[in-house]
Structure 1
Amino acid sequence: MPGELWVGSSPTGVPFSFVDPATNALTGAMIDIAKAVIRDLGLTGDYRATPFSALIPSLTTGRIDMIAAAMQRTDERAQIVAFSAPVFSYGGGLVVPGDDRGVYPALSSVRHKRVGAQVGTRFVDQLHGAGVDRVKTYDGLQEIVRDLANGRIDAGYGDEPILRYQLRVGPRRPVRLVREFRPPVEEDLCLIVAKDDPLLERLNKAIARLKDAEIPAILHRWELG
């Protein structure tokens, strides 16, 4: 349909993008930001749940026009797709069993543990870079927290805001977010389009118009800012 963008989003990235069980529709902070930007451009959006690892392939093959999910900008990804101006920035969070009283200020602190991370994310690379040899990959952070609670892994590493949100509103599990942990890097969260897509310039202008009021209000509503 003319004037409609097909937007791909991960269905498991609470609070950035996820499927609302009450409506079966995609929702979350990045969905709301995408809707605000698309509305500012005078367009409409068709939001499609897409596994995280399939988002970039779906974009580069034309199955979607834009990504709105918890996918941070990295140099490697920027060689394949185009990132908008940032709408949020964050780093990784570390979770361990609730009865684990160890101190873990950095990834090197879990070098000898079994650590879960989401497939296709920068966090897997960060673990390997810190010398963590036993990395088990999962489709989503919910599965990581579940296996951690059941003793199948010793720690989990992934998007800090998503982990924090899940531990606050999800099923009560005997795990904790490590407060003293500092991630090796914080990276920008952006809307993503195909390389050389002329839409990018329009997206950036819309983000500039919305960055002082509407985008901060959305982030605050999802307890992210």
Structure 2
Amino acid sequence: MKFSNLVCAAALALAGTAASAQESLSVGVTTTGVPFTFIDTSTQDPTGAMVDLAAAIAEDIGRTPEFEVMQFSGLIQGLKIGRIDLISAGMFATDTRKEVVDFSQTVYSYGDAMFVAADDETEYAIDDLEGEVVGAQIGTTFADQLQAMGTFSEVKLYDSLVDIMRDVQLGRIKAGFGDKPIIGYQIAQNPQLGVRLVEGYEPMGMGQVALAVSKENPELLEQVNASISEMKESGELEDIFGKYGL
């Protein structure tokens, strides 16, 4: 009888452990996507519009979010190997990415921006940079588009926008390209970066930001989409992005 009780207790403990693991939702975010995803320096916790959105979705579907900070270029691989369950970053739902992951409905749209050194007053068009060295973040659609143009002497690839801004400010490259809301927010918050947005620049294209899940997890995708639809209808989605000036 005592042995039977021990077996039952062990079984219940294992079941409880499994249930707890099932209730968690591992979310991949980056530290360089201000104001979409970044680290709050006062708490050292991930924060931003896409972090708040993922937390709200997790709560809505009855799971506990666990945020995993990763390089942007490693997010999709992390999803494919099961390291994370969900990507919630300023990531565009492109056709190429759709071949390997599934995206939710669109939550935000924006285009790219060009930035140059703060003391460079020229309002460049992209064609004006023919033969120059420019920079973009590795793994982004902007990097792919710039390389496909074939008009630059080099398209240098970087892990973060901060690294691109440093090299633009130091004159190592002529201009940098990246997410307009992220660049605009960082420049507004940190004038000492020594770069500025090029006014009147026409984006190479507009992108649709969405959350991503594994193709092996259609149930989670359905839950995420249902939650987003409810937030759009209630106005909660607009409030989340509005909190960060988006």
Structure-2-length-normalised TM-score: 0.87
Q: Which runs of 5+ in 1 are unaligned?
A: none
**Higher alpha-carbon Rg:** 2
- Corresponding position of 1:214: 236
Q: Which structure has more helix as a fraction of its residues?
A: 2
Matches within 5 A, 1:101-120: 101-105=121-125, 107-120=126-139
Task: For residue 132 of structure 1, give the secondary structure of its aligned residue in structure 2.
Answer: coil
Deviations 1:73-108 (A, max 9, x none): 110000000000011011111001122232323x33
Aligned residue identity for 2:239: A
Q: Which runs of 4+ in 1 moved over 4 A?
A: none
Look up the equivalent residue of 2:73 and give its one-letter code.
S
Instruction: Give the Cα–Cα distance (whole angstroms) in 2 for the partners of residues 129 and 34 of structure 1.
Output: 33
Partner of 2:146: 127
Q: Structure 2: how far apart are the matches of 1:36 and 1:155?
A: 37
TM-score normalised to the size of structure 1? Answer: 0.95
Q: Identity of counterpart residues, as a percentage?
A: 42
Task: Write out aligned runs for 1:1-225 (5 A).
Answer: 1-105=21-125, 107-130=126-149, 131-197=151-217, 198-212=219-233, 213-224=235-246
Aligned residues: 223
Task: Tell me how far apart the structure 2 counterparts of residues 217 and 203 of structure 1 sit (CA, whole Å).
Answer: 18
| Separation of aligned partners in 1, 2:128 and 2:225 | 39
Report SS of the residue matched to 2:176: strand
Write the distance in 1 (CA, Å) between the matches of 2:160 and 2:95. 23
Task: Output the aligned Cα RMSD.
Answer: 1.3
Question: Do 2:115 and 2:197's aligned partners in 1 also have CA atoms closer than 8 Å?
Answer: yes
Segment drifting more, 50-59 vs 194-203? 194-203
